[in-house]
Structure 1
Amino acid sequence: MRVYYSDTDAGGVVYHANYLNFFEHARTEMLRKAGFEQDTLLAQDLVFVVRHMSLDFVRPARFNQSLVVVTELVKAGAATLLFQQRLQDADGDIYCQADVKIGCISAQHFQPTRIPQAIKQELARVG
C-alpha cells in the first residue's frame, strides 16, 4: 500500500485513526483471498465486527511511503477470530502493530453466531 496525502496530518505523518483503516482493508482482502466476500456473507446473515483492538504505534509512517500490512490469524474460536497485524516497510521495520479480536454476529439479530468451519479453514490456509 501507499501512504496518501489524505492519510496524513499537517506534518505529513499518518494520522493515528488511519491505521485502523489500513488494518481493516487488509483483513477484508484476507477474507477475499480466502474466497469470501462480505456482501455475500451479509446475505447469509453473517457479519464480522471488531470486538477488541490493541494498537502499538512504533514509529511514524509518512506521506508517500510504500508499506505492507501483514495479517496473521492467531486463533479461531467458535464465534471469534484473533488476528495479529503489523504495518511494515520492505526492510521489515514496523510502524504500527495490532492485536484484533473479531466477532461473528447475526446481521439480523446482532447476536453472536458460529463462524462456519469453511471460513475458519480457508482463513487459516491463507493467513
Structure 2
Amino acid sequence: MAAEEFSLPLRVYIEDTDAGGIVYYVNYLKFMERARTEYMRNLGYGKDYIFNHDLMFVVRDAAIRYLAPAYLDDQLQATARILALGGASIRFAQTVRRAGQDLAAGELTIACVDRSGVKPRRIPRDMRDRLLPAQ
C-alpha cells in the first residue's frame, strides 16, 4: 500500500542558494521533483520500470506558494502526497519544510506520456492499482 505522505530529507548546499545564502526560488521545484521521484522509486517505479514500459512523466501544471525562505545548510523535508489519480495524470500536494514549518507548498500535476512520441498515455494498470490507495 502506498504511503499517505512521502518525505525526503534534504540539505541546502551552496549551489542551491543565491548570493545572499537564501535558496533560489526555482530550487524548491527541484526539491519537489526529487520527492516525487523517490516516492515513485519507493513504490517500485524507478527508472528501470519507467524505461521498460516506454513511458515517462512530465509536469503539466505547477502552482507554488513561497511562504518563508530556506538558507544555506538548512536541513529540509520535501514531501509528496497524491491528491488525485486520473487515467493519464497524477496530481500531487507537495511541500518543502524546515523543522515542521512550511517554506513552500504547491500542487503539481504530472502527465504520463510514451517516451517514443511524447504523447499522452494511460498509466499502467499495476501502477494505478498501487497508487489508488494513496488517494
Q: Same fold (TM over 0.5)?
A: yes
1:48-104 Cα distance to aligned partner (Å, 9 max, x none): 0000101100001111111101210000000000001000122x2100011100000
CA distance in 1, matches of 2:131, 2:33: 15
CA distance in 1, matches of 2:75, 2:82: 23
Letter in 1 for 2:21: G
Give 5+ residue unaligned stretches, structure 1: none
Mapping 1:1-127, distance limit 5 Å: 1-90=10-99, 92-125=100-133
The normalised TM-score by structure 1 is 0.92
Runs of 4+ in 1 over 6 A off after TM superposition: none
**Is the 1:34–1:126 contact (alpha carbons within 8 Å) kept by the matching residues of 2?**
no
The normalised TM-score by structure 2 is 0.87
Structure with bigger strand share is 2
Size of the aligned set, in residue pairs, is: 126
Q: CA deviation at 1:39?
A: 3.7
Give 5+ residue unaligned stretches, structure 2: 1-9
Q: CA deviation at 1:125?
A: 4.7
Between the aligned residues of both structures, percent identity stands at 36
